[in-house]
Amino acid sequence: MNVPNTWVCWGGGNALDTGCYAQTQINTAVSDTSVVARTLADVGHYKSLYTKESLRSDPWYNLSFELNADDVVFATVPFQG
């Protein structure tokens, strides 16, 4: 989570990269949920969302996709059993 109006800059920057970024803080919550699920990628749809094609083991494939940028940090709780 970005902290409003708190920017940090490293170096002089340039036209493509100012070298500045927003300060962040950890957003925490207590939950009784025991499973965290994110995204699955079905790489059989690497050419099209509408047609599935199996990948072969001999060629290299260039695949690109967006990743979810959220991190989940779990507290360590000693086992009581």
Domain ranges of the chain: 1-25
Residues 53, 48: Cα–Cα separation, whole Å: 9
**DSSP H helical segments within 1-81, as ranges?**
none
Strand partners, 22: 7
Output the tens digit of pLDDT for each of the chain's 81 residues.
556 778 888 888 888 998 988 888 777 777 776 666 666 678 888 888 888 888 888 888 887 776 666 666 777 777 776
